[in-house]
Amino acid sequence: MQIKFYLSLIIAKTVSTILKITKLSGGTSIIGKIVLKICPNFLSYANKYIKTKINVTGTNGKTTTSGLISHLLKENGNSVINNSMGANMIQGVVNAISVELNPFKRYDFSVIESDEAFLEVIYDKFEADYLVVTNLFRDQLDRYGELATTKKFIQNGIDKKADLTLLLNADDPLVASFTGGSRHIFYGVENVVYKDGLEPSKTSIEEAFSCPCGKSLNYEKKFFAQQGHYYCECGYKRPEPQYKADVILYKDYSVLFVNEEEYRVPLIGLFNAYNALAAIALCKELKIPTNVIQRNLNSFKVAFGRSEIKYLNNKKTLIQLIKNPIGANEVLKTVDKNSNILIIINDNYADGRDVSWLWDADFSILSDIEKEVVVSGIRANDMALRLKYAGVSADKIKVISDINESVDYIGKIAESGITILPTYTALLQLNKLKQLKKKL
Protein backbone atom coordinates (compact mmCIF):
# COMPACT_ATOMS: atom_id res chain seq x y z
CA MET A 1 0.00 0.00 0.00
CA GLN A 2 1.23 3.51 -0.88
CA ILE A 3 0.44 4.69 2.67
CA LYS A 4 3.41 2.59 3.82
CA PHE A 5 5.63 4.41 1.32
CA TYR A 6 4.65 7.83 2.70
CA LEU A 7 4.99 6.58 6.28
CA SER A 8 8.49 5.25 5.54
CA LEU A 9 9.51 8.66 4.11
CA ILE A 10 8.35 10.45 7.24
CA ILE A 11 10.20 8.01 9.49
CA ALA A 12 13.34 8.15 7.31
CA LYS A 13 13.55 11.93 7.58
CA THR A 14 12.81 11.87 11.31
CA VAL A 15 15.51 9.28 12.03
CA SER A 16 17.96 11.14 9.79
CA THR A 17 17.43 14.33 11.79
CA ILE A 18 17.89 12.49 15.09
CA LEU A 19 21.11 10.86 13.89
CA LYS A 20 22.52 14.20 12.75
CA ILE A 21 21.76 15.81 16.11
CA THR A 22 23.00 12.94 18.26
CA LYS A 23 25.86 11.84 15.93
CA LEU A 24 25.16 8.25 17.02
CA SER A 25 25.62 6.98 13.46
CA GLY A 26 26.60 8.18 10.02
CA GLY A 27 23.19 6.94 8.91
CA THR A 28 24.34 5.42 5.62
CA SER A 29 22.37 2.15 5.90
CA ILE A 30 20.39 1.97 9.14
CA ILE A 31 17.59 4.16 7.78
CA GLY A 32 17.35 1.96 4.69
CA LYS A 33 16.88 -1.11 6.88
CA ILE A 34 14.03 0.59 8.75
CA VAL A 35 12.38 1.78 5.52
CA LEU A 36 12.47 -1.69 3.96
CA LYS A 37 10.87 -3.17 7.09
CA ILE A 38 7.99 -0.70 6.75
CA CYS A 39 7.74 -0.69 2.94
CA PRO A 40 9.51 -3.62 1.19
CA ASN A 41 8.48 -2.19 -2.23
CA PHE A 42 9.93 1.26 -1.48
CA LEU A 43 12.04 1.41 -4.69
CA SER A 44 9.04 0.51 -6.86
CA TYR A 45 7.08 3.46 -5.45
CA ALA A 46 10.10 5.79 -5.76
CA ASN A 47 10.36 5.23 -9.52
CA LYS A 48 7.72 7.78 -10.52
CA TYR A 49 9.49 10.64 -8.72
CA ILE A 50 12.68 10.38 -10.82
CA LYS A 51 12.79 11.08 -14.57
CA THR A 52 16.18 9.60 -15.58
CA LYS A 53 17.91 6.89 -13.56
CA ILE A 54 21.67 6.30 -13.71
CA ASN A 55 23.57 3.51 -11.97
CA VAL A 56 27.34 3.15 -11.59
CA THR A 57 28.92 -0.21 -10.80
CA GLY A 58 32.29 -1.95 -11.03
CA THR A 59 35.06 -2.93 -8.65
CA ASN A 60 36.83 0.41 -8.23
CA GLY A 61 35.85 4.03 -8.83
CA LYS A 62 32.10 3.82 -8.23
CA THR A 63 31.94 6.53 -5.57
CA THR A 64 34.16 9.01 -7.41
CA THR A 65 32.49 8.43 -10.78
CA SER A 66 28.95 8.73 -9.44
CA GLY A 67 29.98 11.77 -7.39
CA LEU A 68 31.43 13.47 -10.47
CA ILE A 69 28.32 12.76 -12.55
CA SER A 70 26.04 14.02 -9.77
CA HIS A 71 28.11 17.18 -9.29
CA LEU A 72 28.14 18.05 -12.99
CA LEU A 73 24.41 17.45 -13.36
CA LYS A 74 23.64 19.64 -10.34
CA GLU A 75 25.89 22.43 -11.62
CA ASN A 76 23.89 22.32 -14.85
CA GLY A 77 20.78 23.17 -12.83
CA ASN A 78 19.34 19.66 -12.51
CA SER A 79 17.80 18.14 -9.38
CA VAL A 80 19.67 14.96 -8.44
CA ILE A 81 19.43 12.18 -5.84
CA ASN A 82 22.79 10.50 -5.16
CA ASN A 83 24.04 8.04 -2.53
CA SER A 84 27.08 10.25 -2.03
CA MET A 85 28.42 8.45 1.05
CA GLY A 86 29.11 5.31 -0.98
CA ALA A 87 26.71 2.93 0.81
CA ASN A 88 25.84 0.89 -2.26
CA MET A 89 24.06 -2.27 -1.11
CA ILE A 90 20.26 -2.34 -1.17
CA GLN A 91 19.88 -0.80 2.32
CA GLY A 92 22.31 2.00 1.48
CA VAL A 93 20.55 2.81 -1.79
CA VAL A 94 17.13 2.91 -0.11
CA ASN A 95 18.68 4.95 2.72
CA ALA A 96 19.91 7.67 0.34
CA ILE A 97 16.70 7.87 -1.70
CA SER A 98 14.34 7.87 1.31
CA VAL A 99 16.26 10.67 3.06
CA GLU A 100 16.51 12.89 -0.03
CA LEU A 101 13.21 12.24 -1.81
CA ASN A 102 10.42 14.81 -1.48
CA PRO A 103 7.07 13.26 -2.54
CA PHE A 104 5.83 16.66 -3.76
CA LYS A 105 8.67 17.00 -6.26
CA ARG A 106 9.95 15.24 -9.37
CA TYR A 107 13.72 14.86 -9.73
CA ASP A 108 15.59 15.12 -13.01
CA PHE A 109 18.10 12.38 -12.18
CA SER A 110 19.12 9.73 -9.69
CA VAL A 111 22.80 8.76 -9.76
CA ILE A 112 23.10 5.59 -7.73
CA GLU A 113 26.35 3.80 -7.00
CA SER A 114 25.50 0.09 -6.92
CA ASP A 115 27.44 -2.82 -5.42
CA GLU A 116 28.14 -5.40 -8.11
CA ALA A 117 26.40 -8.18 -6.20
CA PHE A 118 23.34 -6.03 -5.47
CA LEU A 119 22.71 -4.54 -8.92
CA GLU A 120 20.31 -7.38 -9.80
CA VAL A 121 18.43 -6.89 -6.52
CA ILE A 122 18.12 -3.14 -7.13
CA TYR A 123 16.93 -3.69 -10.71
CA ASP A 124 14.18 -6.01 -9.46
CA LYS A 125 12.39 -2.91 -8.13
CA PHE A 126 14.07 0.14 -9.63
CA GLU A 127 13.81 1.32 -13.24
CA ALA A 128 17.01 2.08 -15.14
CA ASP A 129 18.10 4.24 -18.08
CA TYR A 130 21.92 4.24 -17.95
CA LEU A 131 24.46 1.89 -16.40
CA VAL A 132 28.13 2.90 -16.16
CA VAL A 133 30.58 0.02 -15.58
CA THR A 134 34.06 1.17 -14.50
CA ASN A 135 36.25 -1.94 -14.26
CA LEU A 136 36.41 -5.50 -12.92
CA PHE A 137 39.30 -6.45 -10.63
CA ARG A 138 39.72 -9.18 -8.03
CA ASP A 139 38.06 -7.84 -4.88
CA GLN A 140 36.75 -9.33 -1.63
CA LEU A 141 37.23 -12.93 -2.72
CA ASP A 142 35.24 -14.13 0.29
CA ARG A 143 32.14 -12.32 -1.09
CA TYR A 144 32.57 -12.44 -4.85
CA GLY A 145 34.90 -15.33 -5.58
CA GLU A 146 36.62 -15.07 -8.95
CA LEU A 147 36.00 -12.36 -11.54
CA ALA A 148 33.66 -14.56 -13.56
CA THR A 149 31.27 -14.51 -10.58
CA THR A 150 31.42 -10.73 -10.26
CA LYS A 151 30.79 -10.35 -13.97
CA LYS A 152 27.80 -12.70 -13.77
CA PHE A 153 26.26 -10.61 -10.97
CA ILE A 154 26.37 -7.51 -13.18
CA GLN A 155 25.23 -9.37 -16.32
CA ASN A 156 22.22 -10.72 -14.41
CA GLY A 157 21.27 -7.13 -13.56
CA ILE A 158 21.69 -5.97 -17.16
CA ASP A 159 19.53 -8.84 -18.41
CA LYS A 160 16.59 -7.46 -16.41
CA LYS A 161 16.55 -4.16 -18.34
CA ALA A 162 16.17 -4.52 -22.12
CA ASP A 163 16.09 -0.75 -22.71
CA LEU A 164 19.23 -0.01 -20.68
CA THR A 165 22.02 2.09 -22.23
CA LEU A 166 25.43 0.74 -21.19
CA LEU A 167 28.45 3.03 -20.82
CA LEU A 168 31.42 0.64 -20.79
CA ASN A 169 35.18 0.91 -20.26
CA ALA A 170 36.54 -0.27 -23.62
CA ASP A 171 40.02 -0.81 -22.12
CA ASP A 172 38.83 -3.53 -19.74
CA PRO A 173 38.17 -6.73 -21.73
CA LEU A 174 35.73 -8.06 -19.15
CA VAL A 175 33.71 -4.84 -19.02
CA ALA A 176 33.71 -4.40 -22.78
CA SER A 177 32.27 -7.88 -23.26
CA PHE A 178 28.97 -7.24 -21.44
CA THR A 179 25.95 -8.01 -23.58
CA GLY A 180 22.33 -6.88 -23.53
CA GLY A 181 20.69 -3.51 -23.15
CA SER A 182 19.57 -1.39 -26.08
CA ARG A 183 22.82 0.50 -26.75
CA HIS A 184 26.53 0.26 -25.90
CA ILE A 185 28.70 3.38 -25.55
CA PHE A 186 32.43 2.88 -25.02
CA TYR A 187 35.07 5.14 -23.46
CA GLY A 188 38.81 4.51 -23.32
CA VAL A 189 42.29 5.96 -22.91
CA GLU A 190 44.50 6.40 -25.98
CA ASN A 191 47.76 7.62 -24.47
CA VAL A 192 49.16 8.50 -21.03
CA VAL A 193 51.92 11.05 -20.31
CA TYR A 194 53.51 11.36 -16.84
CA LYS A 195 54.72 14.76 -15.59
CA ASP A 196 56.23 16.22 -12.36
CA GLY A 197 58.58 13.27 -12.00
CA LEU A 198 55.72 10.76 -11.98
CA GLU A 199 56.22 7.53 -13.85
CA PRO A 200 54.30 4.30 -14.40
CA SER A 201 54.93 1.56 -11.89
CA LYS A 202 57.53 -0.95 -13.00
CA THR A 203 55.35 -3.76 -11.67
CA SER A 204 51.68 -4.44 -12.07
CA ILE A 205 49.37 -7.29 -11.29
CA GLU A 206 48.98 -9.41 -14.37
CA GLU A 207 45.58 -10.96 -14.92
CA ALA A 208 45.30 -13.63 -17.60
CA PHE A 209 42.23 -13.01 -19.76
CA SER A 210 41.26 -15.21 -22.63
CA CYS A 211 39.55 -14.24 -25.83
CA PRO A 212 36.11 -15.81 -26.37
CA CYS A 213 37.91 -18.12 -28.82
CA GLY A 214 40.01 -19.47 -25.93
CA LYS A 215 43.39 -17.91 -26.79
CA SER A 216 45.23 -15.42 -24.60
CA LEU A 217 44.82 -11.74 -25.41
CA ASN A 218 47.72 -9.68 -26.73
CA TYR A 219 48.26 -5.99 -25.97
CA GLU A 220 49.44 -3.10 -28.11
CA LYS A 221 49.35 -0.91 -25.00
CA LYS A 222 48.81 -1.84 -21.37
CA PHE A 223 48.17 0.91 -18.84
CA PHE A 224 47.68 -1.13 -15.64
CA ALA A 225 46.31 -4.56 -14.76
CA GLN A 226 44.23 -5.69 -17.77
CA GLN A 227 43.42 -2.12 -18.86
CA GLY A 228 44.74 -1.37 -22.33
CA HIS A 229 44.50 -1.93 -26.07
CA TYR A 230 44.02 -5.68 -26.49
CA TYR A 231 43.50 -7.96 -29.46
CA CYS A 232 43.49 -11.61 -30.49
CA GLU A 233 44.71 -13.38 -33.61
CA CYS A 234 41.11 -14.42 -34.32
CA GLY A 235 40.11 -10.77 -34.88
CA TYR A 236 38.58 -10.02 -31.47
CA LYS A 237 39.82 -6.68 -30.14
CA ARG A 238 39.13 -3.66 -27.99
CA PRO A 239 36.02 -1.90 -29.31
CA GLU A 240 36.53 1.56 -30.78
CA PRO A 241 35.56 4.07 -28.08
CA GLN A 242 33.13 6.88 -28.87
CA TYR A 243 34.93 8.89 -26.17
CA LYS A 244 38.74 8.77 -26.40
CA ALA A 245 41.11 10.44 -23.97
CA ASP A 246 44.75 11.44 -24.07
CA VAL A 247 45.74 11.78 -20.42
CA ILE A 248 48.47 13.92 -18.85
CA LEU A 249 49.12 13.10 -15.19
CA TYR A 250 50.57 15.72 -12.84
CA LYS A 251 51.40 15.45 -9.15
CA ASP A 252 48.25 17.26 -7.99
CA TYR A 253 45.83 17.01 -10.93
CA SER A 254 45.22 15.52 -14.37
CA VAL A 255 44.41 16.89 -17.81
CA LEU A 256 42.23 14.90 -20.21
CA PHE A 257 41.82 15.64 -23.90
CA VAL A 258 38.53 13.90 -24.68
CA ASN A 259 37.76 13.92 -28.40
CA GLU A 260 40.18 16.89 -28.54
CA GLU A 261 38.32 18.89 -25.85
CA GLU A 262 40.46 19.78 -22.82
CA TYR A 263 39.31 19.00 -19.27
CA ARG A 264 41.32 19.75 -16.11
CA VAL A 265 40.48 17.34 -13.28
CA PRO A 266 41.49 17.98 -9.63
CA LEU A 267 42.19 14.29 -9.03
CA ILE A 268 45.45 12.35 -9.03
CA GLY A 269 46.34 9.04 -10.64
CA LEU A 270 45.41 7.22 -13.83
CA PHE A 271 42.60 5.38 -12.00
CA ASN A 272 40.91 8.71 -11.34
CA ALA A 273 41.45 9.79 -14.96
CA TYR A 274 39.36 6.76 -15.98
CA ASN A 275 36.67 7.79 -13.46
CA ALA A 276 36.62 11.32 -14.85
CA LEU A 277 36.48 10.05 -18.43
CA ALA A 278 33.42 7.91 -17.61
CA ALA A 279 31.68 10.91 -16.03
CA ILE A 280 32.54 13.22 -18.94
CA ALA A 281 31.32 10.64 -21.47
CA LEU A 282 27.98 10.18 -19.74
CA CYS A 283 27.44 13.93 -19.32
CA LYS A 284 28.16 14.45 -23.02
CA GLU A 285 25.58 11.76 -23.80
CA LEU A 286 23.10 13.64 -21.60
CA LYS A 287 23.81 16.82 -23.62
CA ILE A 288 25.41 18.71 -20.75
CA PRO A 289 27.25 21.64 -22.41
CA THR A 290 31.01 21.24 -22.73
CA ASN A 291 31.71 24.55 -21.00
CA VAL A 292 29.58 23.50 -18.01
CA ILE A 293 31.59 20.29 -17.66
CA GLN A 294 34.93 22.09 -18.09
CA ARG A 295 34.06 24.85 -15.61
CA ASN A 296 32.68 22.62 -12.89
CA LEU A 297 35.12 19.71 -12.88
CA ASN A 298 37.53 21.93 -10.96
CA SER A 299 35.03 22.57 -8.15
CA PHE A 300 34.36 18.88 -7.54
CA LYS A 301 34.86 17.79 -3.93
CA VAL A 302 35.83 14.14 -3.55
CA ALA A 303 33.90 11.78 -1.28
CA PHE A 304 35.55 11.01 2.03
CA GLY A 305 38.66 8.91 1.66
CA ARG A 306 38.88 9.09 -2.13
CA SER A 307 41.96 11.31 -2.55
CA GLU A 308 40.44 13.48 0.17
CA ILE A 309 42.48 16.25 1.79
CA LYS A 310 42.07 16.91 5.52
CA TYR A 311 44.28 18.44 8.18
CA LEU A 312 45.75 16.72 11.23
CA ASN A 313 47.56 18.99 13.69
CA ASN A 314 47.60 21.61 10.92
CA LYS A 315 49.41 19.20 8.58
CA LYS A 316 48.00 18.42 5.15
CA THR A 317 46.68 14.85 5.22
CA LEU A 318 45.78 12.87 2.10
CA ILE A 319 43.36 9.99 2.70
CA GLN A 320 43.11 7.27 0.02
CA LEU A 321 40.94 4.18 0.33
CA ILE A 322 42.63 0.84 -0.46
CA LYS A 323 40.65 -2.39 -0.71
CA ASN A 324 42.12 -4.70 -3.34
CA PRO A 325 45.54 -5.27 -4.95
CA ILE A 326 45.08 -3.40 -8.22
CA GLY A 327 43.41 -0.42 -6.57
CA ALA A 328 46.12 -0.38 -3.90
CA ASN A 329 48.84 -0.47 -6.56
CA GLU A 330 47.41 2.55 -8.35
CA VAL A 331 47.14 4.46 -5.07
CA LEU A 332 50.68 3.49 -4.03
CA LYS A 333 52.01 4.96 -7.29
CA THR A 334 50.73 8.36 -6.15
CA VAL A 335 52.02 8.25 -2.54
CA ASP A 336 54.40 11.03 -1.51
CA LYS A 337 57.29 9.14 0.09
CA ASN A 338 58.34 12.28 1.91
CA SER A 339 55.09 12.22 3.88
CA ASN A 340 54.50 10.22 7.05
CA ILE A 341 52.42 7.18 6.15
CA LEU A 342 49.69 5.46 8.17
CA ILE A 343 48.15 2.24 6.79
CA ILE A 344 44.97 0.96 8.48
CA ILE A 345 43.74 -2.54 7.63
CA ASN A 346 40.45 -3.96 8.91
CA ASP A 347 38.78 -7.21 7.94
CA ASN A 348 35.16 -6.52 8.83
CA TYR A 349 32.43 -7.76 6.45
CA ALA A 350 32.36 -4.50 4.47
CA ASP A 351 36.15 -4.67 4.01
CA GLY A 352 36.19 -8.32 3.01
CA ARG A 353 37.31 -10.95 5.51
CA ASP A 354 40.07 -12.21 3.23
CA VAL A 355 43.19 -10.02 3.50
CA SER A 356 45.37 -12.20 1.29
CA TRP A 357 45.20 -9.35 -1.23
CA LEU A 358 47.88 -7.57 0.82
CA TRP A 359 50.39 -10.05 -0.58
CA ASP A 360 49.37 -9.31 -4.18
CA ALA A 361 49.65 -5.53 -3.82
CA ASP A 362 53.06 -4.05 -4.62
CA PHE A 363 54.07 -2.58 -1.26
CA SER A 364 57.72 -2.80 -2.38
CA ILE A 365 57.05 0.70 -3.74
CA LEU A 366 57.62 1.77 -0.12
CA SER A 367 60.83 -0.26 0.35
CA ASP A 368 63.09 2.81 0.24
CA ILE A 369 60.94 4.89 2.58
CA GLU A 370 63.04 6.91 5.04
CA LYS A 371 60.35 7.85 7.56
CA GLU A 372 58.55 5.55 9.97
CA VAL A 373 55.49 3.76 8.57
CA VAL A 374 52.68 3.27 11.10
CA VAL A 375 50.28 0.34 10.70
CA SER A 376 46.96 0.04 12.51
CA GLY A 377 43.57 -1.64 12.52
CA ILE A 378 42.38 -5.18 13.20
CA ARG A 379 45.01 -6.66 10.88
CA ALA A 380 47.85 -4.31 11.80
CA ASN A 381 50.26 -7.19 12.42
CA ASP A 382 49.49 -8.71 9.00
CA MET A 383 50.27 -5.35 7.40
CA ALA A 384 53.51 -5.05 9.37
CA LEU A 385 54.61 -8.48 8.18
CA ARG A 386 53.69 -7.61 4.59
CA LEU A 387 55.81 -4.44 4.73
CA LYS A 388 58.76 -6.38 6.14
CA TYR A 389 58.62 -8.86 3.25
CA ALA A 390 58.19 -5.94 0.81
CA GLY A 391 61.60 -4.66 1.89
CA VAL A 392 60.67 -1.99 4.42
CA SER A 393 63.19 -2.01 7.26
CA ALA A 394 61.72 -3.48 10.45
CA ASP A 395 62.91 -0.51 12.51
CA LYS A 396 60.78 1.77 10.32
CA ILE A 397 57.53 -0.15 10.98
CA LYS A 398 55.50 0.78 14.05
CA VAL A 399 52.38 -1.16 15.04
CA ILE A 400 49.58 0.70 16.86
CA SER A 401 46.46 -1.43 16.57
CA ASP A 402 44.06 1.17 17.98
CA ILE A 403 43.06 3.51 15.16
CA ASN A 404 42.51 6.57 17.35
CA GLU A 405 45.92 6.16 18.98
CA SER A 406 47.61 5.66 15.59
CA VAL A 407 46.09 8.88 14.25
CA ASP A 408 47.22 10.80 17.36
CA TYR A 409 50.71 9.36 16.99
CA ILE A 410 51.16 10.12 13.29
CA GLY A 411 49.88 13.64 13.92
CA LYS A 412 52.55 14.21 16.57
CA ILE A 413 55.56 12.79 14.71
CA ALA A 414 54.78 14.16 11.23
CA GLU A 415 56.94 17.09 10.24
CA SER A 416 54.85 18.10 7.25
CA GLY A 417 52.55 16.01 5.04
CA ILE A 418 50.68 12.85 6.09
CA THR A 419 49.26 10.02 3.95
CA ILE A 420 46.60 7.68 5.37
CA LEU A 421 45.67 4.49 3.50
CA PRO A 422 42.63 2.83 5.15
CA THR A 423 40.27 0.03 4.22
CA TYR A 424 36.55 0.84 4.12
CA THR A 425 35.46 0.40 7.75
CA ALA A 426 38.66 2.07 8.93
CA LEU A 427 37.72 4.97 6.69
CA LEU A 428 34.31 5.21 8.36
CA GLN A 429 36.03 5.44 11.75
CA LEU A 430 38.46 8.08 10.48
CA ASN A 431 35.55 10.16 9.26
CA LYS A 432 34.26 10.46 12.83
CA LEU A 433 37.55 11.69 14.34
CA LYS A 434 37.56 15.32 15.44
CA GLN A 435 41.35 15.51 15.03
CA LEU A 436 40.94 15.32 11.25
CA LYS A 437 39.66 18.69 10.12
CA LYS A 438 38.40 19.68 6.68
CA LYS A 439 40.09 23.09 6.76
CA LEU A 440 42.91 24.79 8.64
Would you please indicate which residues are annotated as catalytic (active-site) residues? 354
| Residues 6+ positions from 24 with CB-CB distance below 8 Å | 18
The total of other beta-carbon atoms located within 10 Å of residue 419's CB is 24
Nearest to 320 by CA among 299, 351, 341, 347: 341
Nearest to 56 by CA among 98, 6, 112: 112
Distance CA 121, CA 94 (A): 12
The CB-side HSE value for 129 (13 A sphere, CA atoms) comes to 14
Distance CA 322, CA 349 (A): 15
Distance CA 81, CA 97 (A): 7
**Could you write out the three-class secondary structure of 394-434?**
HHHEEECCCHHHHHHHHHHHCCCCEEEEECHHHHHHHCCCC
The total of other beta-carbon atoms located within 10 Å of residue 220's CB is 10
